[in-house]
Amino acid sequence: MEANTLIDPSAPVGVFDSGVGGLSVLRHIRQALPREDILYVADSAHAPYGSKTPQQIQARALALAEFLAGQGAKALVIACNTATAAAAPLLRERYGMPIVGMEPAVKPAVAATRSGVVGVLATSGTLQSARFAALLENYGRGVRVVTQAAHGLVESVERGEVDTPQTRALLWQYLEPLLQEGADTLVLGCTHYPFLRRLIQSLVGEGMTLIDTGAAVARQLHRRLEAAGLLRQDTHAGVEHFWTSGDAATVQRIIRRLWEDEKIEVHRL
């Protein structure tokens, strides 16, 4: 790809998710791209996306992308598996900038499994998507992939309940069947779930390999920006700016906890 001379490399990167789950991706982006300014939108008023129709998700994705483009974003990251499945093609048609999406890490999980059984924990919207069906078709052969729709986990993370007895009980309800099926590798198929990693690992044991795609997304964003000539080259230390469609005070409290920074300010979208 030729360098894009119409976009300023010092422009920010836009990231959006149905809520605060995309912060798990944002952390990897920050590590991979320390010079980039990042705009993050948590669509908390409309979370979770997993129970919405593709048309509803597309409408939200378009609204958030339009906001981020209006803020001068030079690239977009759809930090949500469900939104990627529903809306990535639509956004790529509409915007002439790099757009990076998410997908459950079936391919690396298939490579990692020793028992030949891979568990996938995701929202129903992701599991029912054509994109996920294609992943299984392309990479799932030769192993058994056991899927589990995990209703309520997104809401738990949105409330900041990443280590409560209630969240532990809910998780065990979803994890126990995967263990009984012999899964030794677990795909965290929603960007909210890495915030439950410690709790999940304590329930399934150290013998279970947990895989998410945050680092892969950050690498892909780096590649896309570099190919387009949009990597920021100065010595600027990147900063983050946050918005939400939900209650700003509530989301600010949760983001400060998950991002481990009490100085974060979250603005109402």
Q: Which of 141, 88, 92 is nearest to 113 (CA)?
A: 141
For every residue of 3-68, DSSP letters joined together read: --TTS-TTSPEEEEESSSTTHHHHHHHHHH-TT--EEEEE-GGG--STTS-HHHHHHHHHHHHHHH
SS3 of residue 125 by DSSP: helix
Annotated catalytic residue: which of 190, 200, 217, 248?
Answer: 190
Q: Do 190 and 35 form a contact (C-beta atoms < 8 A)? A: no
Choice among 64, 80, 100, 196 that is catalytic: 80
Catalytic, 80? Answer: yes
Confirm whether 190 is a catalytic residue. Answer: yes
Place of tokens 């600027």: 236
Largest CA distance in the chain: 55
Q: What is the dihedral of CA 150, 155, 157, 162, to 10 degrees?
A: -70
Specify the 3-state DSSP secondary structure of 224: helix
Euclidean distance between the first and the last CA atom of the chain, given in angstroms as a whole number: 33
**Collapsing DSSP states into helix, strand and coil, what is residue 90?**
helix
* Residue 237 DSSP code: P
- Tell me, what amino acid is at 199? L
* Alpha helices, H only, 39-164: 54-70, 81-94, 106-112, 124-127, 130-139, 153-158
Q: Report the C-alpha gap between 86 and 104 in whole angstroms.
A: 14
Catalytic residue positions, numbered: 80, 190
